[in-house]
Amino acid sequence: MNTEESACPQCGYSSKRKLPVSPSDSSRIAELCFTSQCPTVEEEKSFQSFVGEGQSFLNNLDTRIALMKTSIQALENTRELLKPVVMQYKESLNPIRRVPSDVWGHIFFYGSGYDKDHEEYFDSASHSLDLNSPPWVYGRVCRQWKDIIHNMPSLWTRVKMNLHKMQTSDSRITMVLLLISIYFRRSKTLPLIVYLDMSSPESSPSISDFITNISNVVLTHSWRWKSLVLAGGQGTGATSVSEDDFISLERIEIRESDSRDGPTSSLEIVAPKLRAWSTVGSRWSNSVKIMPTSLLFHQITDYSISAVASSEVLKIIPQFPNLRKLSVRGLLASNNSPSSEPVLCLPKLNEFSIEQYNPLTAFPALTALLDSLSCPALTRLTVIASGIISDAVKRFEMRSKFPLKHLIVGRDAGKFVKGLLNPLVLQSIVIRGDHSFSSVHLVLSEITGTDAQIPPFPDLRELQFYWSQSLSMSMSPVGFEVMDMIYDCVNSRTQRSSATGVAPLKMLITASDEQARKMLNHPLRRDLCSKGAVVDIIAL
């Protein structure tokens, strides 16, 4: 069988053809090129033969290269024609096109930030008429997405009107009013959470008209308002509010303006379902300028206040005779030394929350507040603050004699748990946020007790805490493994539950994905679960 490749009929090239062999060594040809010597007759004959053969080979190569370039160009042209067509069909087969509309709805819900509570959402959102922000921007991608957001009323239930971020020119008022109407129309009849900041550093007839026009449109839907945030110290325009406007309103948050001046005023509205009121102070004034009317004081059962002095808190809360839930956050340090206040009794208060992230400067304010309160009906206490106020909390408990059932604590959890005077009815402990290993160790030690006695928390049913990366899963700083401590605690209480009436303890631990996997596969946890104990691990 002949395996020799035949030469190309167009160019004469063959890959099997060998290169012409040089008839002389390199030194001889270099010598002839460097001098004017003439090659010998034999050399001249062999050189002419080599040049002829070599030139023929080069001609074949040049012809071959030209043909190959033409072929390559033709192939590239064909590729450029075919590729976009194939990509179009390939794109049409993308699995993302088959994602169900309800799944897109969930994605848009989270993408819009609706998984956050409304306070966090309003702090980060621009305003509801920003067409480059969700949910508007989703409708600019494709018709399918546009149809989804148009038919998903829940995406249009958080309304933020911020005059500082809106264009207030006369030429824009028609477009602004149109967008507001579209926004409300897409929310159908669902309850609304509304943020209004209609304050303006400018004062002119055009600005005043702009505010009036927007307020009138917004207020036409006030019957659907479930929660209202008023920022900038502005009201809703009481003259345009009727008695039926706020029939669904359950919560109001007032964010005080930064103005140092201005008298205290009341928000003149009728809201039969209003139960919660929140006040956020300003950085320039410790006083609260906007309050509910006297008619609303008896309705409000949930009050939250932040960024004010403790004296302001003590001045306001007595006005709510039916208060059942109180939250105090970020108390401001007072320039005046705390005075001795008479003890204020809140007989109906069930839940009390204190959150303070600058404990050293506000320590006197926190202490003054706790030393001025008595809450005999308190069942849930949250203290997210430094352990330096643990003595004040202990005095607060001693004075109130409350039957505490739920305790939520932060970084210095061990100090607050150890300081409880009446642990007999406590049912749950939650350790929030970042905390030290020693704090968790102390809490577990406190609730474990010894085999010779009933544990000090006989009715405790649940302990929750977050196991952070800083708390090593393998070995803790004091030589104990966390799962060993959990095992000893849960196993000890489980064994004594039938004989002494001690409640079985459920553990709920939140950890990073890596730490959670280690805990889930730990043999001690499996042993506890086999005995009927509940040790749940949640991965973040």
**CA dist., res. 74 & res. 323, Å (int):** 84
Tokens standing for residue 248: 């669904």
Residue of 302, 300, 427, 325 lying closest to 378 (CA atoms):
325
- Report the range of poorest mean pLDDT among 234-243, 295-304, 346-355: 234-243
State whether residue 33 is helix, strand or coil: helix
Tokens standing for residue 176: 């602004």
What is the pTM assigned to this prediction?
0.76
Confirm if 463 and 505 have CB atoms less than 8 A apart: yes
**CA dist., res. 64 & res. 9, Å (int):** 11
**CA dist., res. 72 & res. 33, Å (int):** 39
**CA dist., res. 171 & res. 136, Å (int):** 22
Alpha helices, DSSP H only, in 95-236? 101-111, 118-124, 143-150, 173-186, 205-219
Q: Write the DSSP symbol of residue 244.
A: T
Tokens standing for residue 159: 């309304």
**CA dist., res. 219 & res. 323, Å (int):** 29
User: Quick one: pLDDT at residue 478?
Assistant: 36
Domain ranges of the chain: 26-92, 99-258+269-275, 301-401, 404-540
Q: Which helix (H) or strand (E) holds 366?
A: helix 359-370
Tell whether the torsion through CA atoms of 65, 66, 67 and 71 is positive or negative. positive
User: Quick one: pLDDT at residue 469?
Assistant: 55
Maximum average pLDDT range among 337-346, 380-389, 432-441, 525-534? 380-389
DSSP letters, 506-519, are: EEEEEE-HHHHHHH
Instruction: Name the phi and psi angles at 413, rounded to 5.
Output: -55, -40
Residue 405: Cβ within 10 Å count: 17
Residue of 205, 112, 209, 212 lying closest to 152 (CA atoms):
112
Residue of 308, 309, 298, 232 lying closest to 271 (CA atoms):
298
The string of pLDDT tens digits covering residues 431-448 is 887 667 777 888 888 888
Instruction: Name the phi and psi angles at 304, rounded to 5.
Output: -125, 135
The number of residues in the chain equals 540
Confirm if 256 and 281 have CB atoms less than 8 A apart: yes
Residues 6+ apart with CB under 8 A from 145: 104, 108, 138, 139
> How many Cα atoms within 13 Å fall on the side-chain side of residue 450?
2
Residues 6+ apart with CB under 8 A from 400: 373, 374, 375, 376, 378
The string of pLDDT tens digits covering residues 166-213 is 765 666 778 888 999 999 999 999 999 999 887 776 666 777 777 888
Residue 519: Cβ within 10 Å count: 20
The string of pLDDT tens digits covering residues 3-32 is 455 777 776 666 777 777 777 777 777 877
The string of pLDDT tens digits covering residues 367-394 is 889 999 999 999 999 998 888 888 999 9
Categorize the per-residue pLDDT at 453 as very low, low, confident or very high, splitting at 50, 70 and 90. low
